[in-house]
Amino acid sequence: MRILSVIMLIFLAIGCKSPEARRPVSQNSGSYIDESVERNKEMIARDEDYIKQQMGKDPDTEYLTSADGFWYFYNNKSTDSLNTKTPQFGDIVVFDYSISSIEGTSIYAEGEKPTREYTMDKEKLFTGLRQGLKLMKEGETVTFLFPSHKAFGYYGDKDKIGSNVPITAKVTLHNIKEESTNEIDN
C-alpha cells in the first residue's frame, strides 16, 4: 500500500507541473524582409537616377521637387493672385490627364482617358497623382514625373503599364468644389 501511495504521489507531482512553451520547428531570421527592403531601396534609387538623367536632357525646363518624392513642372501656371486654392481632403476635383513613359512615349494619349471627377483622398487613385493634384490650382496644367512606387508600382495598371515602370503624367485641373459646398448641394 505504501508503494502505491508513493507512485500516486509521483504522478500527482508530475501532473501538477506547469506547461512548457513549445518551440517552433523552424525559425525565420527576417532576412527575406531585409532583402526585400534592400531591393526596394535599390529600385527607388535606380528610378530616381533615371528620372534625373532624363531631366538633365531638358535643361530649359524648370523642374520642381515635391516633398512626396516626385518631380514636376508647370505647362500652364495660374497667374491669378485670387486663385490660391488647392484641393483639400474631401474636395471634388475635375481633371484630365495623359500618361507617357519617362522618355516621352505615349501610353495613354490626351483624351484617351475620360475627364475624371474625383473626391480627394476618398476614392482610389494612384499615389503620385493624388499627391500631385494637391499641388495644383484650378486651370493649371502640370507634368509630373513619378518613380514607379509613386505610379502603379509592382502590379502596373494591369493594362498598358507594366511592373515597376516610372511614368510621366500631364494633368489639367479644371475645377475644385469645396467639401462644404458638396454637403450643401446634396
pLDDT of the residue at 29: 65
Q: 65 pLDDT exceeds 70?
A: yes
Instruction: Kindly provide the residue ranges of all beta strands, DSSP E only, lying in 43-166, ordered along the sequence.
Output: 64-65, 71-76, 92-101, 106-108, 116-119, 141-146
Q: 183 pLDDT exceeds 60?
A: no
Torsion of CA 32, 33, 39, 45, to 10 degrees: -160
pTM: 0.78
| Amino acid letter, 89 | F
Domains observed in the chain: 62-185 (3.10.50.40)
> Which cell numbers in the block locate residue 13?
507531482
Q: How far is CA 176 from CA 63, 86, 134, 164, 181, in A?
A: 25, 8, 11, 31, 10
Confidence of residue 12 (pLDDT cuts 50, 70, 90): low
How far apart CA 7 and CA 69 sit, in angstroms, is: 73
Please state the rounded mean pLDDT for residues 136-148. 96
Confidence of residue 73 (pLDDT cuts 50, 70, 90): very high
Instruction: State the average pLDDT for the chain.
Output: 88
Please state the rounded mean pLDDT for residues 41-56. 94
